[in-house]
Amino acid sequence: EPEVTQTPSHQVTQMGQEVILRCVPISNHLYFYWYRQILGQKVEFLVSFYNNEISEKSEIFDDQFSVERPDGSNFTLKIRSTKLEDSAMYFCASSPQGGSYNEQFFGPGTRLTVL
Partner 1 sequence: AQSVTQLGSHVSVSEGALVLLRCNYSSSVPPYLFWYVQYPNQGLQLLLKYTSAATLVKGINGFEAEFKKSETSFHLTKPSAHMSDAAEYFCAVSERAGKSTFGDGTTLTVKP
Residues in touch with partner 1 (CB under 8 A): 31, 33, 35, 41-45, 48, 50, 55-56, 91, 95, 97-109
The residues that bridge with 114 in the sheet, in sequence order, are 13
Between 14 and 40, CB nearer to partner 1: 40
Between 15 and 38, CB nearer to partner 1: 38
Q: Supply the DSSP symbol for 51.
A: T
Strand order in the sheet with 65-68: 5-7, 19-24, 75-79, 65-68
Between 81 and 97, CB nearer to partner 1: 97
CB of 92 to partner 1, least distance (A): 9
CB of 55 to partner 1, least distance (A): 5
Amino acid at 73: S
Tell me how crowded residue 64 is: count the other CB atoms within 10 A of its CB: 14
